[in-house]
Amino acid sequence: MALRDPRLFPPELLSNAAMARADASAVRRGMPVLDLMEKAGRAVADAVPFFAPVAVLCGHGNNGGDGYAAARHLARTGLDVTIFARRMPEPGSAAAEMAARAGCPIRPLIDFLPHVRMIIIDALYGAGLSRPIEGEEAAAIARAATSGAFIVAVDVPSGLSGDTGQAAGPVLPADRTVTFFRTKPGHWLQPGRRLCGTLFLAQIGLDRGDLPADPAEPPLLINSPSLWKTVMPALNPEIHKFRKGHVLVMSGPEFRTGAARLSAMAALHAGAGLVTLAGDAAALRVHAAQLTAVMLAEIRQQESREASAGTDLPELLASSRLSAALIGPAAGTGAATKRNLAILLEAGLPVVIDADAITALDGRPEWLAARNRAGAVLTPHAGEFARLFGTDRTGSKVEITRAAARLSGCVVVHKGPDTIIAAPDGRAAINITGGTELATAGSGDVLAGIIAAHLGAGLPPFEAASAAVYRHAEAGQRLGPGLTADALAKAVPPLGSG
């Protein structure tokens, strides 16, 4: 399976606890543990890419049992296979039975001496490890990590948490990781995504009926078209520009207009029927020299009403058929931005709150919760997230983003190489597409514009944000390294066109 193509993975992500419940469900309906372990071992053996000596590092639990099963399958193909273990499985366990069936040498872990022409199967520890790896196992991991050998991990690289994608101590980076039934958050959250290498998902006998159904545990999903396709508007001959949405983008001042212009162009290309850029006269003169399809509206600031012929923001909102707004890109972090945000929220528009508008909130997410009527979307990167929600939050990136969504009453798009989208009701998705090509100035402004276009078209905030993150990353992948934000803004196809 290709890495990071969400269409190749089931959408559900299972925590370690949820996966344990799924395993238990399969056993209750008659699936023997030995059969599950046997199929897991065969899947691991099938992931070995070439003919070479194989060293299988086995722990004493079920993860080690999968390794013993894989060793037997590989030995039967004629490969030179040696198992290394510090401690044998508990007598009577399924893993002990697999060790007894192994049919190849089992040597002490301390004897493990890897080399570059070797394949290493890492079956030391599974996804549920909650302590640092120490002693002989840590030393073996260090030797393997510097050997240059090709490494295949069972479930997750040893030392990596399947829930958080973090490691409490040493971890063995893999070239390939083979996991079972459903992927886990830790496969997609950084640094876990990088440490897993290419991810393979094997089906070993569990089915959809084994998925845990716990109403107290809100769903965590891979971000993919299945998440929003049922609310995606269809393009038809009767549609007109206002039905496609009219998006208002608040401009920055005269010498900081580029970010809002990128957002406006992204909204237009992403499917908005109309886009209006609003700002002071000096800023609009800059925009007018570079834009044709985007409309311009002069806004008088509260402190300079006599000096301008423009309208007040409330007047513009009352006189225009607007369906969504975006505020923040290079808007300034002072009182004017916060005041304009309050006016937009008071008007009952769905609002994308980005960049400077996040900083202007001055670390008070509860201010948003009290004013958000129509569904606002916050789009912080890591630094903005810390400024708004604090740095003392613990847990995985999924957990802290869910908490932020509850506190602010907004959908939160926690940006990064493992972007999380979370709603106040607990729904959350991990975006697994995109790459380093998006790490360029203006990329976030483009994303904000796409979200605004989706909100303007009538998508609910969680689906609007999820679709925008996916489509933004997809456009980045098509353009590839060296993309600029200007090109990215034009590369997103209109909503509903595919």
- In the chain, the domains with their CATH numbers are 6-217 (3.40.50.10260), 225-491 (3.40.1190.20)
| H or E segment and range at residue 59 | none
The DSSP call for residue 167 is: B
In angstroms, the CA 147 to CA 143 distance is 6
CB atoms within 10 A of CB 141: 23
Instruction: Write out pLDDT tens, residues 471-485.
Output: 999 999 999 999 999
Mean pLDDT by 10 residues, the chain (498 residues): 67 95 95 97 96 97 98 97 97 97 97 98 94 97 98 98 95 98 97 96 95 82 93 63 84 96 97 96 97 94 53 90 97 96 96 98 95 94 96 91 97 97 97 93 98 96 97 94 96 76
Burial tier of 232 (Cβ tally within 10 Å: 0-12, 13-18, 19+): middle
99 within 8 A of 58, measured Cβ to Cβ: yes
Q: Tokens at residue 334, please?
A: 């002072």
Instruction: Write out pLDDT tens, residues 436-480.
Output: 999 999 999 999 999 999 999 999 999 999 999 999 999 999 999
> What is the pLDDT at residue 307?
45
Instruction: Look at the alpha carbons of 466, 469, 474, 475 in this order and tell me if their dihedral is positive or negative.
Output: positive
> What is the pLDDT at residue 302?
58
Would you mind telling me the total number of residues written for the chain in this entry? Answer: 498
